[in-house]
Amino acid sequence: MSVKFSVAALSLLAGIPLGLPISAKLTATANSSSSITTSRLESRQAQGKIAALQANLRMSYRAIPLGNISSPLTGSDPKAVAQQAFNNSEAKSKQVAIAYPARGKAVVTITQLGLEDDSVGSIRYRVELTRSGRQWRIVWAGFQVKCQSGRGHQNWSPQNCV
């Protein structure tokens, strides 16, 4: 089964209200120091929940050692850094999505469909980046595959095709 989470869905799963962003909650409660402390605590708790959700999402991907990536791991645009690292020109179509689950963090999902491979039909990469100053750096990457018909599983999985 393929599961995709939007930033809104991650917010809901993490228990973050969709009405006001956390920064707006801090501004709205500036009259009371106890409210500010509570809001900061809620912000840290929400960030912790999002980090836990990301770790759970990682479990459905096979990790790629960053030392195996031959392109630069840093750059000014997180989407461009991820695409440069995982560009497969033999794919018939490609979809790229980016989400910013927390300040200074980006997750790029690259889905390549219609591979000209006898076993693997499609591959999906999850690339997590963090920002330091003006530079984004890949901190984790993983992949899932869908097999060609008759060559194994037909759902997104970290398992090999046959």
Element (H, E) at 45: helix 33-58
Q: What is the mean pLDDT of the chain?
A: 80
Q: How far is CA 89 from CA 18, 83, 112, 128, 149, in A?
A: 39, 11, 9, 22, 22
The predicted pLDDT at position 46 comes to 75
Q: Contact at 8 Å (CB) between 121 and 92?
A: no
Confidence (pTM): 0.70
The highest-confidence range among 45-49, 53-57, 83-87, by mean pLDDT, is: 83-87
Rounded CA separation 27/22 (Å): 9
- State residue 38's pLDDT score: 62
